[in-house]
Amino acid sequence: MTRRLALACALAACALLAACATTPPPKPLTQGRGAWTYAPADRAEPAKLTYGAANSDNVGLMLLCAQPRVKLWLPAPATAAPKSIALRSGKAHGVYPLAAVPDGEALLQAAMPATDPLLDAFAASGELIADSTRLDARAAGERAAVRAFRGACPAPRK
């Protein structure tokens, strides 16, 4: 009887630990559900601009400065991953092929040239549509974050 009780307690403890250790995948962010924040480059990380839920790790879209390109990262959906992402800001638009991040994380990545007019349009207007979802920089602080990222990751001079 004592062995059964000890075994039952051990199994319950394992189940509790497994439940605590399992983090659900991030939910896709929708229009108005996130904010843009800027993190300047440091010794370990390039400059980055993220759209996500405040004070969380739930990031819907991240732009990283990787001159002469800008990398885009977004969470991979639980269903079939899209093959591309369409971005629009004002009259500037582009479609960027997506690929899984090689290290096995549930992320998709794309790249655009740092000279892409979409980046300048986004910095000027704060307007961004990803596929059909508006991810506009609405607040003054968000618009400043977008401009700061563009300033830290300018188009290379010819």
For residues 134 and 10, the model is more confident at 134
pLDDT on residue 22: 39
User: Which residue's structure tokens are 């879209």?
Assistant: 61
Q: With CA atoms as reference, report the closest residue to 100 among 85, 83, 86.
A: 83
Q: Give pLDDT tens digits for 73-86.
A: 999 888 888 999 99
pLDDT on residue 152: 96
Put simply, whether the predicted model's pTM sits higher than 0.85 gets the answer no
Q: Give pLDDT tens digits for 114-152.
A: 999 999 999 999 999 999 899 999 999 999 999 999 999
Q: Is the pLDDT of residue 16 over 50?
A: no
Please give, one letter per residue, the 3-state secondary structure of 117-137. HHHHHHHHHCCCEECCEECCC
